[in-house]
Structure 1
Amino acid sequence: MLNRVAVLSDVHGVLPALEAVLAEPEVAAADRIVLTGDIAAGPQPVQVLDRLLGLGGRVVWVGGNADRELVEHRRGGSGPSPDPVVPWAAEQLRPDLLDLLARLPRSVTLPVRGLGAVLFCHATPRDDEEVVLVDSRPDRWREVFTGLAPEVRTVVCGHTHMPFVRLAHGRLVANPGSVGMPYGRPGAHWALLGPGTDLRVTAFDPAAATAAVSRDSAYPDAAAWADHYLYARSTDTEAHEAFAPRDGRTAPPR
C-alpha cells in the first residue's frame, strides 16, 4: 500500500515546469510519481524524458495519445498531425526513447492509502483520446467506466489540461490538470494522493521559463509556443467549449 503518490499529467515536453514540480518537497518524498500521459510532445522532449528516466523506479509511466502519436509518426503509422510540434518532437527522439514510449501501458492500477485501488489512465480507462469533463453527464461516466473492475473506486486521468475532482457513480474521479500546458491559469498543475485527493499548483516564473525553453529548444517556434502555454493564454472557458462536444453532449457517443 502506497502512502503518498504524486500525479503529473500532460508535461508536454516542458522542462522548466517539470523541474518546478519535482522540486516540491512532497513530490520528492512521494512513494511513487505517476505520469498520466502526454509526456514528451512539446519543445523539450528529450530533456524531459531523460530527466524522468533519471528518477528510476519511483516513476510509474502511463502513455497518452500524444505519446502514441510520436511513435506513430516515426514509424509511419499516422497521417499529418494538426499540431506541428508533434512531428518535430518525434524526430528528436533517440531509438531508446521511442521504444520507451511505444511500450507505455494505457493504464496502471496501484493501491493507495485511503483510496484503495486507484486506476491511472490518460483520457478514460478504455481510450487515450476520449473526453470527460467535470460536468459530463452521468450516462457519459457510466459509458467510460464500462468494463472497469468493481474494486477500482478511484480513477485518475488527464488529457483535458483542466483540474477537477468529482464523484461519478460512486467512484472518485480526479484530473490533476497539466504540468506544461495549463488551461485557465499559469503554473504547473499536479495532484497528491493519499489518503485524500489534493489538487496542487506549483508557481514558477513564466518569463524565465519561456526564455529557458526558447534558449534550450531547437523547435523553430519554441518562443511563441512557450509564451502561449506557459502564460496559460488559453482560458479554461475556451478549452471547455472546445472539448464539450467531444464528450457526447451534442453528438451520439462513439
Structure 2
Amino acid sequence: VAVFGPQPHKCVARLQTLNCRFVMGNTDAYALEPYPLPHRDDQSTLFNEVESWSAAQLTDADCDFIRGFAATQTIRLDGEMALLAFHGSPRSFNDAIRPETPRTTLNNWFSPPLPALLAGGHQHVQFCQPYQRSIFLNPGSVGMPYASSGRSHDVNPTYAEFAIITAEKGHLDISLQRASYALADLKKAVAASRMPAAAWWLADWVQA
C-alpha cells in the first residue's frame, strides 16, 4: 500500500483513519522485511534504491499496522452473496491473474465453493470477467496504475483506479472507476520527499 512512492508514511497514516479491511500484498511484505531485489538489468539498482528508501520511511507503528493485514478477507454482501479479497490469489500474493490467464491455472488457485465475487490486484490493471459461476474483479491501482503506450513499456497515468460494488436484492453491480489528478502535484510531492532516483521514477508518469 505504500512502498515505491514518495509518501510512504503519509499513505499508511491516511489508511489508518479509514474503516477498511486490508489484504497483504507483495510490497507490503517487502516493507516489513526489505531485501535487495535480484539484478535483472540496469534499472534494478534504481528499483532497489527507491524501494529500500520507501521502507525506511515507515515507522514502527506503520509496520505494526501492516502486519495486521490478512492473506484474504471475506466480506458478506447482500443475501447469500459474498466477496473474497486477496492480492495475487488466495494461495499467494505473488500469483499473477490476467485476463488471459488459463482456466486450468485458475482452477489450481481457487477451491470451490466460490463466492459470487473474487477481488484481486497485483497486476495494476483494471478488468472484470466471469470465472466459473463467479466474477473475478481487479479494481486496478490507486497509487501506480499501468497503461499501454507507444513506448516499449507501460506508462503510469495520473489517475487512481477503484471499483464500486453494489449488491442488492440478489443483483450484483460492478462499476470500474478512475479519479484523475494533476501531474504537477505529483511532481511537487516527489520533490518535497527527497526520494532517490526521483527523475527516473517520474519518467514514466503521464498526465491522464
Q: Could you tell me the TM-score, scaled by structure 2's length?
A: 0.81
Task: Return the index of the structure with the highest Cα Rg.
Answer: 2
- Tell me the secondary structure at the aligned position of residue 59 of structure 1: coil
Summarize the alignment of residues 1-254 of structure 1 with structure 2, pairs less than 5 Å apart: 39-41=1-3, 42-55=5-18, 58-73=19-34, 79-81=35-37, 82=44, 83-84=47-48, 85-113=50-78, 116-145=81-110, 147-148=111-112, 150-184=113-147, 186=157, 187-195=159-167, 196-215=173-192, 217-229=193-205, 231=207
Please tell me the residue identity of whatever aligns with 2:133.
Answer: G
Name the structure, 1 or 2, with higher relative contact order (CA <8 Å, separation 6+).
Answer: 1
Distance 1:110 1:176, change over 3 A: same
List alignment gaps of at least 5 residues for structure 2.
38-43, 148-155, 168-172
Structure 1 segments, 4+ long, off by >6 Å, are: none
Instruction: Please state how far the C-alpha of 1:98 moved relative to its aligned partner.
Output: 1.1
Alignment root-mean-square deviation, CA: 2.0
* Alpha-carbon contact 2:6-2:189 (below 8 Å) kept: no
Please tell me the residue identity of whatever aligns with 2:179.
Answer: T
* Alpha-carbon contact 2:74-2:82 (below 8 Å) kept: yes
Distance 1:168 1:153, change over 3 A: same
How many residues were matched structurally? 184
Distance 1:229 1:159, change over 3 A: farther
List alignment gaps of at least 5 residues for structure 1.
1-38, 74-78, 233-254
* Alpha-carbon contact 1:210-1:223 (below 8 Å) kept: no
CA deviation string 1:52-82 (max 9, x = no partner): 1123xx2111110100011112xxxxx4125
- Tell me the secondary structure at the aligned position of residue 214 of structure 1: helix
Distance 1:156 1:115, change over 3 A: farther
* Alpha-carbon contact 2:7-2:189 (below 8 Å) kept: no
* Alpha-carbon contact 2:162-2:178 (below 8 Å) kept: yes
**Separation in 2 of the partners of 1:72 and 1:52?**
20
| Structure 1 or 2: more helix by fraction | 1
Instruction: Please state how far the C-alpha of 1:92 moved relative to its aligned partner.
Output: 1.2
- Tell me the secondary structure at the aligned position of residue 192 of structure 1: strand
Identity of aligned residues (%): 30
* Alpha-carbon contact 1:67-1:101 (below 8 Å) kept: yes
